[in-house]
Amino acid sequence: MVLEKYKQKRNFRATPEPAGDPKVAAERAKRQETAKERFFCVQKHLASHLHYDFRLEHNGVLLSWAVPKGPSLDPKTKRLAMHVEDHPIEYGTFEGVIPEGYGAGIVMLWDVGTWKPEVPDVDAALKKGDLKFTLDGYKLKGSWVLVRTGGRGPGAYGGGDARSWLLIKHKDEWAGDVDITTFAPLSVKSGGDFENILAADKPDVWVSNRPAKGGEAGAMLAKIIERAAALKAQGKGEKAEGKRHKAEGKGHKAEGTKNTKKAVRHPKKPR
């Protein structure tokens, strides 16, 4: 059954995540035969650990990898990507709070766009553990590769977790040393950060700043709120530093405002 693992892990009465309509999956799979481009997205997921879920449309579902550190635009920085269960195509626009159960936390739509395989046969490439592709998103663009490193399949280095892959940027005009996850941390759907998504989705929880319910789910949500608040505080600190830097930098307008973040140094950090 398509999406069996996805459905097994979730209780759709408790989660706002889409269950996945088989008709939609069939339509998308059919569309793929003639479409030049397919959908892709990256969801920033603040759960027990912060990670980025990288998803590529294929055969009516979203192939999915959990990338703990998020994608890097630097070809030298290979990012671990754990292959996880396929997700329904409808998941691609999801943003919100998962209050309890599997994946409990906050999901932000961090990037969306289209992708094109750079190989003629995606299934063969997946089997081999070497999928080259081109992305056209808001934040991620150009040529990339997913390489399987674990397991015993062809292309794997042997041993380790069979789900282990690496997400690597190829050298091209879209590669660079900008840390894209800190440079562009916000949602491409709502424009907000985690706490904005939480505030929009669960205003009661956000306002009282404590879980709506007791028990494990409540404790989990409390932790998430704490983390969202900590991230917010961190972000504020960075912004304040940026302002200070701008003020200091009077007369250096030529440096431009775009690179303000890059040029910021923490005042307490020894050089």
Q: Note the residues at the interface with Mn ion (CB under 5 A).
A: 45, 53
CB of 107 to Mn ion, least distance (A): 7
Q: Which is nearer to Mn ion, 45 or 141 (CB)?
A: 45
d(CA 3, CA 9): 10
| C-alpha span between 58 and 122 (Å, rounded) | 8
Which residue lies nearer to Mn ion by CB, 42 or 131? 42
Question: What is the nearest approach in angstroms of Mn ion to the Cβ of residue 102?
Answer: 9
Give the span between the Cα atoms of 222 and 216, in whole angstroms: 10
* Shortest CB 266 distance to Mn ion, Å: 30
The distance of closest approach from Cβ of residue 255 to Mn ion in the complex, given in angstroms and rounded to an integer, is 38
Question: How many beta carbons lie within 10 A of that of residue 22, not counting itself?
Answer: 13
Rg (CA), the chain: 20
The nearer residue to Mn ion, 102 or 174, going by C-beta atoms, is: 102
Nearer to Mn ion among residue 52 and residue 125 (C-beta):
52
Could you tell me the smallest distance in angstroms from the CB atom of residue 126 to Mn ion?
Answer: 20
Token pair for 106: 């906050």
Residues 82, 160 contacting (CB under 8 angstroms):
no
Residue nearest to Mn ion (CB): 45
SS3 106: strand
Residue whose entry in the numeric block shows the structure tokens 């920033």:
44
Residue with Cβ nearer Mn ion (65 or 133)? 65
Give 115's strand partners: 38, 135
Q: Kindly state the smallest distance separating residue 84's Cβ from Mn ion, in Å.
A: 7
Helix or strand (DSSP H, E) at 167: strand 164-169
Nearest to 111 by CA among 180, 59, 176: 180
Pairwise CA distance, residues 44 & 27, whole Å: 27
Q: Name the residue nearer to Mn ion (CB basis): 45 or 79.
A: 45
